[in-house]
């Protein structure tokens, strides 16, 4: 039986006004940028503040030994358009979202990347939730089938391979912490289709990630490789962090986000504990700062480079914890922490100047690759937007349902 569920203390007037003003600015920026993009999608901002663009069609892949994520963020732009539509009620945002979705939909059959979760959970799922048009749900379900097909089974458990086609052994044995935040597509598909295998695949991945990624102190590896024959981790390493053993801040955020969604969808109390443990580690490292460095172990000048995308992801995850937690006091603490983080981002990191086209300043896509460093990132802007929507218009961007009854 589902437990009693309340959505938490209402926003204060000051919070309501701040979030509403920020959503106004978001809608203005998105409306100004949309006609300038052609058929491409924003990605990171350049040093002059303009968006750098990429077509939706660019898939992930290896070029020699070098891995490229390709366009894993096109769906996020659609999520911004849906949010602007919900906030303003202006039909042009809904039209743009549909047009953009036509470009994004070509990726629903992409067998190269786990990021298919990010692409469709931010675009097609809100599209279906808001309009009820079946096409969005069909596209999301097709993408979810592709993601489920990435499940690699081993004697110790099963994981979703992250990077590359499954017939490439490099892709097959690899998994990244980011995958935890791709699981909501599978959870949605299970609910929508009634086929529990989507949820079981996500649950299996979340369980194996605990074994493979969590260090003894509750920090996380960015990526691991598994021995398929035994299920043992053969190495932990990084792609975007400062070192293989370092604490890449965004990776920690993906873990928190994925475990709270897994707790909500599976009802497993253990996932709630993992969400709180990884969040507690993150907060201890963060100290009294609003925004973490891109990597908690970055040294010298690099340590001054921040990542607001991490703050946005954790703000959204904390709001979810504030919704899912069975203990009213803990629920209130997490909700307050999520709202404070979100309000801090609105006040201190939202780019109000016209020359800066992204929403949040000071995100860092990849310091090792020197890409989008001290920049806006579209994924950071999306998770900021998702957190705003969760706070200011709960249940309207993404389906809201009470948490599954938590099991011991």
The binding site for ligand GLY (CB under 6 A) comprises 69, 178, 240, 250
Q: What's the closest the beta carbon of residue 346 comes to ligand GLY, in angstroms?
A: 22
| Residue facing ligand GLY at closest CB distance | 178
One DSSP character per residue, 97-125 reads: HHHHHHHHGGGGG--SBTTHHHHHHTTHH
Q: What's the closest the beta carbon of residue 96 comes to ligand GLY, in angstroms?
A: 25
| Beta carbon nearer to ligand GLY, 174 or 240 | 240
Q: What's the closest the beta carbon of residue 200 comes to ligand GLY, in angstroms?
A: 25
| Beta carbon nearer to ligand GLY, 178 or 276 | 178
CB 161 within 8 A of CB 152: yes
Q: What's the closest the beta carbon of residue 328 comes to ligand GLY, in angstroms?
A: 33
Q: What's the closest the beta carbon of residue 133 comes to ligand GLY, in angstroms?
A: 29
| Beta carbon nearer to ligand GLY, 69 or 306 | 69
What are the E-state strand segments in 31-110?
40-45, 51-55, 61-63, 66-68
Q: What's the closest the beta carbon of residue 253 comes to ligand GLY, in angstroms?
A: 8
Q: What's the closest the beta carbon of residue 69 comes to ligand GLY, in angstroms?
A: 5
| Beta carbon nearer to ligand GLY, 175 or 240 | 240
Dist. CA 271–CA 86, nearest whole Å: 32
Q: Which helix (H) or strand (E) holds 236?
A: strand 233-237
Q: CA–CA distance from 230 to each of 157, 158, 243 (Å)?
A: 9, 11, 26
Query: Is 175 in a helix, a strand, or coil?
Result: strand
Beta pairing class for 371-375 and 51-55? unpaired
Query: Is 270 in a helix, a strand, or coil?
Result: helix
Closest CA to 274 of 177, 132, 192: 177
| Beta carbon nearer to ligand GLY, 85 or 239 | 239
Q: What's the closest the beta carbon of residue 240 comes to ligand GLY, in angstroms?
A: 6
| Beta carbon nearer to ligand GLY, 171 or 403 | 171
CB 241 within 8 A of CB 248: yes
Q: What is the DSSP letter of 64?
A: T
| Beta carbon nearer to ligand GLY, 178 or 225 | 178
Number of residues that this document lists for the chain: 408
Number of CB atoms found within 10 A of residue 106's CB: 14
| Beta carbon nearer to ligand GLY, 118 or 281 | 118
């Amino acid at each position: 039986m589902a437990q009693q569920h309340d959505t938490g203390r209402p926003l204060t007037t000051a919070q309501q006004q701040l979030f509403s003003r920020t959503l106004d600015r978001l809608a203005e920026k998105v409306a100004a940028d949309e006609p300038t993009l052609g058929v491409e999608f924003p990605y990171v901002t350049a040093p002059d503040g303009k968006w750098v663009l990429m077509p939706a069609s660019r898939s992930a892949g290896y070029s020699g030994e070098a891995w490229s994520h390709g366009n894993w963020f096109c769906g996020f732009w659609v999520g911004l358009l849906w949010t602007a539509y919900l906030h303003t009620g202006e039909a042009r945002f809904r039209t743009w979202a549909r047009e953009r979705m036509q470009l994004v939909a070509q990726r629903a059959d992409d067998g190269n990347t786990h990021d298919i979760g990010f692409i469709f959970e931010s675009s097609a799922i809100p599209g279906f939730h808001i309009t009820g048009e079946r096409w969005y749900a069909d596209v999301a379900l097709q993408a979810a089938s592709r993601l489920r097909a990435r499940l690699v089974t081993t004697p110790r458990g099963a994981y979703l391979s992250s990077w590359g086609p499954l017939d490439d052994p490099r892709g097959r044995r690899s998994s990244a912490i980011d995958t935890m935040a791709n699981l909501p597509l599978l959870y949605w598909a299970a609910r929508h289709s009634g086929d529990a295998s989507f949820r079981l695949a996500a649950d299996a991945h979340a369980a194996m990630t605990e074994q493979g990624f969590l260090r003894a102190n509750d920090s996380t590896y960015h990526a691991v490789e598994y021995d398929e024959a035994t299920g043992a981790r053969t190495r932990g390493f990084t792609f975007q962090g400062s070192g293989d053993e370092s604490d890449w801040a965004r990776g920690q955020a993906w873990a928190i986000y994925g475990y709270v969604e897994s707790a909500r969808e599976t009802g497993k109390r253990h996932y709630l504990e993992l969400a709180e443990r990884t969040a507690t580690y993150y907060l201890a490292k963060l100290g009294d700062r609003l925004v973490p460095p891109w990597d908690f172990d970055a040294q010298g000048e690099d340590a001054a480079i921040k990542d607001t995308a991490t703050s946005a992801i954790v703000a959204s995850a904390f709001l979810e914890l504030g919704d899912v937690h069975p203990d009213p006091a803990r629920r209130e603490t997490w909700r307050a922490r999520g709202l404070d983080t979100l309000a801090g981002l609105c006040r201190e990191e939202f780019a109000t100047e016209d020359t800066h086209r992204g929403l949040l300043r000071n995100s860092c896509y990849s310091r090792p690759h020197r890409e989008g460093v001290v920049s806006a990132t579209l994924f950071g802007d999306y998770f900021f937007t998702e957190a705003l929507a969760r706070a200011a218009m709960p249940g309207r961007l993404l389906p809201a349902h009470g948490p599954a009854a938590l099991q011991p």
